[in-house]
Amino acid sequence: MTHISVKAVRAGLVTALVLLACAAPARAGGGHVAEDSWLMLTVSRGETPSTRQDGTLLRCDPPRGHRRAADACAELTAVDGRIADLPAKDVVCPMVFAPVTAHASGRWRGRPVDYTETFPNTCLLTARTGAVFALDTQ
């Protein structure tokens, strides 16, 4: 008859618990619920935000719903979802006045987001907001 010591059983149980804990999937976003980071994005011609209900829904945990979702989510992550804090790109844009208004509403890491800004043209919109407003509708 084989005898197993209590210490051996405890060591085996501890090892099994550690392996199970390590195998559990990590939560995306450093402990944030995956659906906490989403934005409804619109770009409209003119100086007033679109009143239409359509737009592009950007989700970031994992990135999807936007043609440049991975880039947009990475840029937003770098500024903790604060679109106004996105660093401007160093580009030369034509001095053409064809205003466009960008609007974003939703949640970032559980915090509400409501952003609206009018740009003189799409070149300046892209220079200022990067991939976030790089929508198919432009």
Domains and CATH numbers, the chain: 28-129 (3.30.350.10)
Question: Does the structure show a pLDDT above 50 at 97?
Answer: yes
**What's residue 24's pLDDT?**
45
Q: Kindly state the average pLDDT of the residues 94-122.
A: 94
Separation of alpha carbons 29 and 96, rounded Å: 40
Taking the model in full, what pTM does it have? Answer: 0.70
Separation of alpha carbons 81 and 114, rounded Å: 11
Separation of alpha carbons 126 and 93, rounded Å: 10
Separation of alpha carbons 79 and 59, rounded Å: 16
- H helical segments located in the chain: 6-23, 28-31, 69-78, 122-129
**What's residue 33's pLDDT?**
41
Question: Does the structure show a pLDDT above 60 at 64?
Answer: yes
